[in-house]
Amino acid sequence: MKKGFTLVEILIVVTIIGILVVMVLPSHRTVVIRAKEAVLKENLFQVRDAINKYYYDKKKYPASLEDLVTSKYLRKVPEDPFLKTNEWHLKHFEPEDMEDFDPEITEGIIDIRSLNENDALDGSKYSEW
C-alpha cells in the first residue's frame, strides 16, 4: 500500500486554508487602518500641543511648522500616515471684527488638519480631525 495524500484530501486542506485567508484579510486591513488613524491622532495632538506651548512661551503663534522645529518644540514636522507627507492644512489666526490684535499674531498658525479627504472608520473625515 502506498503512503501519501489523495487529491481529495489535498483539495480539502487547500479549501480550508483559502477560507481562513478570506476571513482574516479584511480584519487585517481594518487593523492597519486603525493603526494609521491612531498615528494621525497622535501627530495632530503633538503639533497642536507644540503650537499651544509656543504661544504661551512667546505670546505669538508660530509663522510656520518649521518654527516649532527650530524652537525645539518638535524634533521634526510629523507626517500624515495616510498621505506619507508632512504637508498639512494650516489654519491661521483670524481676529474678530472688534478685537484688538497684534499684527504678528495674525500670521501665526493656530491649528493643523490633515489634507486627506477620505472617510475614517468612524464615518468622519480625516480632514475634520
Instruction: Quickly tell me which residue has 503650537 as its cell.
Output: 51
Summarize the confidence of residues 109-115 as an average pLDDT.
Answer: 95
For 38-78, how does the pLDDT look when each residue is reduced to its tens digit (9 = 90+)? 999 999 999 999 999 999 999 899 999 999 999 999 999 99
What is the helix (H) or strand (E) element at residue 125, kind and residue range?
none
Q: pTM value?
A: 0.76
- The pLDDT > 90 percentage for the chain reads 69
Distance CA(80)–CA(101), nearest Å, equals 32
Q: For the residues of 85-114, what is the DSSP string, one character each?
A: B---EEEE----TT----HHHHTSEEEEE-
